[in-house]
Amino acid sequence: MKICCIGAGYVGGPTMAMIAHKCDDIDVHVVDINSDRIAAWNSGTLPVYEPGLQEIVEANRDRNLFFSTEVDAHIRDADIIFISVNTPTKQYGVGKGKAADLKFIELCARRIAEVAVGHKIIVEKSTLPVRTAETVKRILANTPHGATFDVLSNPEFLAEGTAMTDLEAPDRVLIGGESAAAIETLVSVYARWVARERILTTNLWSSELSKLAANAFLAQRISSINAISALCEATQADVDEVAHAIGKDSRIGPKFLKASVGFGGSCFQKDILNLVYLCEHYGLTEVAEYWNQVVKMNDYQKARFARNMVKTLFNTVSGKRIAMLGYAFKKDTNDTRESAAIYVCRDLLTEQANVAIYDPKVTPAQIKADLKTVFTNGNGELAARDRKLIEENVIFCSSAQEAAKDAHGVAVMTEWDEFKTLDPAELYGLVYKPAFLFDGRNILDHNAYLQAGFEVYAIGKGLLDGE
């Protein structure tokens, strides 16, 4: 059997590496139009950082796992074609800022229709609006070489930072489709390492919608606990204690109740906005408003964190150095898409702070690119004033200590494990006094920082007084 996966990104790369790893007899070809990305997959420095990924890629690459830009050739050869391209929020035209931009999906479908021969199983791996398979099928119906197709939906549930363990032992694999034979072919691939009872099969539309619904429910939990965190700060309740207490209810459960500076990542916001757009499209205004509130609450949480910092630092951060520990949207990834750090950094730069950033995996080039994007207005213009802020007020550091040196405030933005072992006394010695710590992830030992002399602001706990 031959598999082709179009899109060598955070999903295509790790997912196909796992299939190749578990299925010796299947040739897996991951193709992409981005030649730099393919070159990186074929090099010692992979374009995606995920614990355990490098080992699996190196063990299988050029054996039964291949990365190339030869899209047409591998479409032609494959029995199963996964489409794993990006489906970002549309930035233009109708649905701007909400709908999923499906142009990359359509391009793939058209390419497949153009070059395919024989029978192919087309698998939607990307996250898509419900009923996209209908469009894909219509495009595939116009094929010059008499090829035939079955279209399946097989959304991916991996989370970044734990992608390899999620792929190795998924809670479930979901496959939606119309042809029992095509479904069984794909089931037989996953069944090499996933127990059959964890492989769920549904109709196409349930599968497409389940992915959007799962992300909406997960993000909703975070917005719910973050909403409670604001009330905790007003009432001296402690959000970690509240999360623990409610999570003990087996109907609620303990996971995904960690209050934070706000959720980030390429999926949650994009997929909820997509859901909101779909609801509006079907005239379900109240349903759309309900889900939109999850995103609004997240925006509020990010803005609230930055506002609290400014307020605590005597209502001005102009000319003050702020150490930002972490920039990725969560630990164990180099991905910064929609990271809360981007928005907090923007708000601090707007207040003319100097922001000294340290992240163990994110490059300065990525940080600059993100900040340029976030400051760019709707007409695609970056004001000279904002460009200057990015060039002059952002400092890239290679350790937490370097970032903290002469800082007026230290903010934890990402929950990297290495921040938990920082020495509070050492940091206290480096920063300006009074010393302020803002823990946007509630991962540090707040008592230890209080004892070292810091004043500590923690999400859902407020400004702690050390008693």
Binding status of residue 209 toward ligand UDX by CB under 6 A: no
Give me the residues paired with residue 440 across strands.
Answer: none
**Which of 153, 100, 150 has the alpha carbon at shortest distance from 124?**
153
Active-site hit among 267, 279, 345, 397: 267
- As measured in angstroms, the least distance from the Cβ of 37 to ligand NAD is 5
Structure tokens given for 138: 């219509």
For residue 434, whether the previous peptide bond is cis, meaning omega lies within 30 degrees of 0, is yes
**Whole-angstrom distance, CA of residue 301 vs CA of residue 297:** 6
Using CB under 6 A, pick the residue from 258, 321, 408, 461 that binds ligand UDX: 258
- As measured in angstroms, the least distance from the Cβ of 249 to ligand NAD is 28
| Near ligand UDX in 222-241, by CB under 6 A | 222
**Which of 126, 441, 166 has the alpha carbon at shortest distance from 270?**
126
Binding status of residue 73 toward ligand NAD by CB under 6 A: no
Binding status of residue 270 toward ligand UDX by CB under 6 A: no
Binding status of residue 160 toward ligand NAD by CB under 6 A: yes
Using CB under 6 A, pick the residue from 4, 23, 65, 108 that binds ligand NAD: 108
For residues 117 to 146, the per-residue mask of contacts with ligand NAD, x marking binding by CB under 6 A and - elsewhere, is: ---------xx-------------------
C-alpha atoms less than 13 angstroms from C-alpha of 170 in its C-beta half-sphere:
24
Is 267 catalytic? The answer is yes
Among ligand UDX, ligand NAD, none, residue 33 binds (CB under 5-8 Å by kind): ligand NAD
- As measured in angstroms, the least distance from the Cβ of 439 to ligand UDX is 13
**Which of 323, 359, 315, 362 has the alpha carbon at shortest distance from 344?**
323
Among ligand NAD, ligand UDX, none, residue 37 binds (CB under 5-8 Å by kind): ligand NAD
Q: Which is nearer to ligand UDX, 64 or 414 (CB)?
A: 414
Sign of the four-CA dihedral 407, 408, 414, 420: positive
**Whole-angstrom distance, CA of residue 153 vs CA of residue 133:** 8
Strand order across the beta sheet in which 394-396 lies:
394-396, 354-358, 321-325, 409-412, 436-439, 455-458, 462-464
| CA distances from residue 378 to 133, 180, 240, 375 in whole angstroms, order as listed | 31, 47, 39, 10
- Yes or no: say if 122 and 149 are a contact pair by the CB < 8 Å rule: yes
| Near ligand NAD in 26-55, by CB under 6 A | 32-34, 37
Q: Which is nearer to ligand UDX, 347 or 455 (CB)?
A: 347
Q: Which is nearer to ligand UDX, 11 or 147 (CB)?
A: 11
Q: Which amino acids are annotated catalytic?
A: 267
Residues that bind ligand NAD (CB under 6 A): 6-12, 32-34, 37, 71, 84-87, 104, 107-108, 126-127, 156, 158, 160, 266-267
